[in-house]
């Protein structure tokens, strides 16, 4: 419900921002509509640029959970993977006849993370809201995101563009050196405190998201010379993108320390939202920006639990599984125009 509320509020805020009328008639004055085609190549209608940037993520995570297939616990188990990684980002953009095409890749520069992976269980069917097991582990995030998009100016609105695209992302983690604490003994159904340290790799987790999205882009510039003739500097450029997406998720969880091959997979689908704000200055063939980005996805689906125990292999299908992710970053970018 929380993610759904964020989706609705985010979409309404984005729609309000993108529908602000003052920009539509600001051909002259303090605010001006910004046409990147003319800025990059005033003599023609096509250009090519290359952006390289660094992005620092904060308060970002990806998670999944599933309910019990024979009890009231929902969730029965949950895995949470926060990260605070620095990403390298590379984007190439070209425009011809008003159509802008963009391809972007971003990925982790280092697998070291201060944040810990978390694993929680609710094992007591008579007390389904009581968390009985909690574990923390070192995580080694290996993440990448590919974003392919195209946009074109909305007729009659020089400041606004429609955008559509496809994002593909992978978030992969390995739980290592696990500290596990429990207050419940599942075999005897009694509350007993215990703790254990599990050295080495323990869980291998991978989460894929495929997103098809659509939205809008607002381009504008802030003209300092309209404030004072003393402020002789390039206009401050502003670009706001807001979009919503249909999301397909695939999650894979493998317990590496078990004596048999235990795997869980979740196929899910849902929706997401995304807001990106970039502002900076253009100087000659270069542009320097600061960037802020917030995105969220929420999906539901079915878990396939495959237990390769030689004493009795079986497969369980569990409805009501959930996978979700929230990502925030601040970044700096440098762009060269050819």
List pLDDT tens digits, range 1-12.
Answer: 444 444 444 444
Q: What percent of the chain clears pLDDT 70, i.e. is strictly above it? A: 80
Eight-state DSSP code of residue 190: B
What is the predicted pLDDT for the residue at 14?
43
Eight-state DSSP code of residue 183: S
pLDDT (mean) for 215-222:
91
What is the predicted pLDDT for the residue at 316?
78
Whether pLDDT at 317 is above 60: yes
What is the predicted pLDDT for the residue at 305?
80
What is the predicted pLDDT for the residue at 42?
36
Give the residue with greater pLDDT, 29 vs 261: 261
Whether pLDDT at 72 is above 70: yes
Domains and CATH numbers, the chain: 2-113+142-174+202-337 (2.40.128.90)
pLDDT in tens, 159-217: 899 999 999 999 999 999 999 999 999 889 999 999 999 999 988 999 999 999 999 99
Nearest alpha carbon to residue 82 among 167, 141, 4: 141
Q: What does the chain come to in residues?
A: 338
Question: How far is the CA of 326 from the CAs of 237, 282, 317, in angstroms?
Answer: 27, 31, 27
What is the predicted pLDDT for the residue at 261?
57
Whether pLDDT at 260 is above 60: no
pLDDT (mean) for 208-235:
80
The DSSP result for 137-155, as a single string, is EE---EEEEEEEEEEEEET
pTM: 0.81
What is the predicted pLDDT for the residue at 23?
35
What is the predicted pLDDT for the residue at 25?
33
Whether pLDDT at 296 is above 50: yes
Q: What percent of the chain clears pLDDT 90, i.e. is strictly above it? A: 62
Whether pLDDT at 268 is above 80: yes
Nearest alpha carbon to residue 11 among 216, 234, 252: 216
Give the residue with greater pLDDT, 222 vs 124: 124
What is the predicted pLDDT for the residue at 264?
85
- Please answer whether residues 110 and 86 qualify as being in contact, where contact means their C-beta atoms are separated by less than 8 angstroms: yes
Across all residues in the chain, what is the average pLDDT? 83
Range among 18-27, 43-52, 90-99, 218-227 with highest mean pLDDT value: 90-99
């Amino acid at each position: 419900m929380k993610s759904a509320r964020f989706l609705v509020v985010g979409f309404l805020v984005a729609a309000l921002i993108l529908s602000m009328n003052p920009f539509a008639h600001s051909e002259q004055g303090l605010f001006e509509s910004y046409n990147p085609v003319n800025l990059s190549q005033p003599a023609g209608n096509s250009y090519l640029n290359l952006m390289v940037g660094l992005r620092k993520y904060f308060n970002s995570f990806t998670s999944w959970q599933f309910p019990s297939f024979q009890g009231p616990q929902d969730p029965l188990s949950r895995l949470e993977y926060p990260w605070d990684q620095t990403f390298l980002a590379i984007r190439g953009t070209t425009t011809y006849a008003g159509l802008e095409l963009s391809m972007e890749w971003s990925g982790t520069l280092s697998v070291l993370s201060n944040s810990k992976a978390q694993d929680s269980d609710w094992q007591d069917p008579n007390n389904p809201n009581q968390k009985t097991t909690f574990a923390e582990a070192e995580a080694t995030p290996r993440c990448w995101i590919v974003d392919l998009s195209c946009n074109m100016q909305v007729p009659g609105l020089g400041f606004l563009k429609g955008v559509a695209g496809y994002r593909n992302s992978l978030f992969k983690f390995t739980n290592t050196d696990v500290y596990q604490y429990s207050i419940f003994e599942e075999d005897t159904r009694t509350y007993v405190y215990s703790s254990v340290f599990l050295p080495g790799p323990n869980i291998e987790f991978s989460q894929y998201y495929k997103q098809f999205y659509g939205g809008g882009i607002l381009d504008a510039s802030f003209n300092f010379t309209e404030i004072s003739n003393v402020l002789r500097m390039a206009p401050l450029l502003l670009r706001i993108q807001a979009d919503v997406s249909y999301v397909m998720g695939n999650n894979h969880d493998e317990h590496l320390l078990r004596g048999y091959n235990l795997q869980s997979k979740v196929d899910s689908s849902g929706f997401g939202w995304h807001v990106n704000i970039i502002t900076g200055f253009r100087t000659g063939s270069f542009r320097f920006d600061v960037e802020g980005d917030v995105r969220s996805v929420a999906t539901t689906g079915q878990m396939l639990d495959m237990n390769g125990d030689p004493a009795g292999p079986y497969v369980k299908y569990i409805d009501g599984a959930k996978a979700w992710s929230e990502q925030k970053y601040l970044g700096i970018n440098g762009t060269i125009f050819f």
